[in-house]
């Protein structure tokens, strides 16, 4: 889908920032100037977004060489150099903010994800949601994977998730699940949002594949997991934080979905620094 391609996302970001041209750089930087630069971390984190950085400078001026010094998913310390680049000084200065906007955002997501994954432990999968920045979903979900998390459905098109409003509109869980099963291919899963054990039973009887246990505290989650007894995949969702995820994971659920991975992750503090400028031979 073109709307989700890296090339198109970066192109729109550059159009938004650069428009018809970088007025400052054109006015003060000689066209023949060649620069070396680096992107450096001002705080520790996890790297994500290398492809976006490379694509920004490719589109601004393909003569700009960008080298990532670490792979996506790597942890780094404060003051670590993440990228080195060399090329037309105008191109590096023009692409600076767009590149940083991408990589700071994506490193922030990967870093938050890594912390939550570590606190949850290996017995459970930490997964994202559709609460992403419009137009950046694929990049943000890649950042979740870089942080050690897993992806939930990519959009409304690749899985069925029957939530409270769907249940109300369909006339009940059973009706919703049966209609969904008749309409979708056999390879597609059906998730039902459940707020009580009664809804868990109704979803199980209807043949749901995944039970989204919504806004249950750890004791209620543990009770629901025991009640399900492996008859469906269990997913805890709703208000999970770094402080609560260990207790949630300990209940025995299979998945913990956390919207905050993408909707609330703070951008990591990174900086682009020009190291040298020379005149092209």
Q: What are the extents of the domains in the chain?
A: 2-116+266-279, 120-263
Number of residues assigned to the chain: 281
What is the chain's pLDDT, residue by residue, as a tens digit (281 residues)? 345 699 999 999 999 999 999 999 999 999 999 999 999 999 999 999 999 999 999 999 999 999 999 999 999 999 999 999 999 999 999 999 999 999 999 999 999 999 999 999 999 999 999 999 999 999 999 999 999 999 999 999 999 999 999 999 999 999 999 999 999 999 999 999 999 999 999 999 999 999 999 999 999 999 999 999 999 999 999 989 999 999 999 999 999 999 999 999 999 999 999 999 999 76
The CATH topology of domain 2-116+266-279 is Aldehyde Oxidoreductase; domain 3 (3.90.1170)
On whether the CB atoms of residues 260 and 147 are closer than 8 A, the answer is no
The CA-based dihedral angle spanning residues 214, 140, 267, 95, taken in that order and rounded to the nearest 10 degrees: -160
pLDDT of residue 115: 98
Task: Please say whether the structural domain 120-263 has been given the CATH code 3.40.50.300.
Answer: no
Please give the structure tokens belonging to residue 208: 């749901």
Which ranges of the chain does DSSP label H, i.e. alpha helix?
6-18, 23-28, 50-60, 89-120, 137-146, 164-170, 173-183, 197-206, 218-228, 245-249, 260-263
Structure confidence at residue 280 (pLDDT):
75
How much is the pLDDT for 151?
A: 97
Q: How far apart are CA 95 and CA 55, in angstroms?
A: 10
pLDDT of residue 47: 98
What's this model's pTM, rounded to 2 decimal places? 0.95
The catalytic residues are 97, 131, 163, 193, 214
């Amino acid at each position: 889908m073109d709307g989700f391609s890296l090339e198109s996302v970066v192109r729109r970001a550059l159009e938004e920032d650069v428009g018809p041209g970088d007025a400052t750089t054109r006015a003060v930087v000689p066209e023949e100037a060649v620069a070396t630069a680096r992107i450096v971390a001002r705080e520790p984190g996890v790297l994500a977004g290398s492809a976006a950085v490379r694509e920004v400078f490719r589109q601004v001026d393909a003569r700009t060489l960008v080298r990532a010094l670490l792979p996506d998913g790597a942890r780094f310390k404060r003051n670590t150099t993440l990228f080195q680049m060399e090329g037309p000084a105008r191109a590096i200065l023009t692409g600076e903010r767009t590149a940083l906007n991408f990589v700071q955002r994506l490193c922030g997501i990967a870093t938050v994800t890594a912390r939550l994954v570590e606190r949850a432990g290996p017995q459970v999968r930490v997964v994202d949601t559709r609460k992403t920045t419009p137009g950046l979903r694929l990049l943000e979900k890649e950042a979740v994977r870089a942080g050690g998390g897993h992806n939930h459905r990519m959009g409304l098109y690749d899985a069925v998730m029957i939530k409270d409003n769907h249940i109300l509109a369909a006339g009940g869980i059973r009706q919703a699940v049966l209609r969904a099963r008749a309409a979708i291919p056999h390879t597609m899963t059906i998730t039902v949002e459940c707020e009580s054990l009664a809804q868990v039973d109704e979803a199980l009887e209807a043949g749901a594949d995944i039970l989204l246990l919504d806004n249950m505290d750890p004791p209620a989650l543990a009770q629901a997991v025991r009640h399900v007894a492996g008859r469906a995949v269990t997913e805890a969702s709703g208000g999970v934080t770094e402080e609560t995820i260990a207790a949630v994971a300990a209940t025995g659920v299979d998945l913990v979905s956390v919207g905050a991975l993408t909707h609330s992750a703070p951008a990591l503090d990174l900086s682009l620094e020009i190291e040298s400028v020379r005149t092209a031979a």
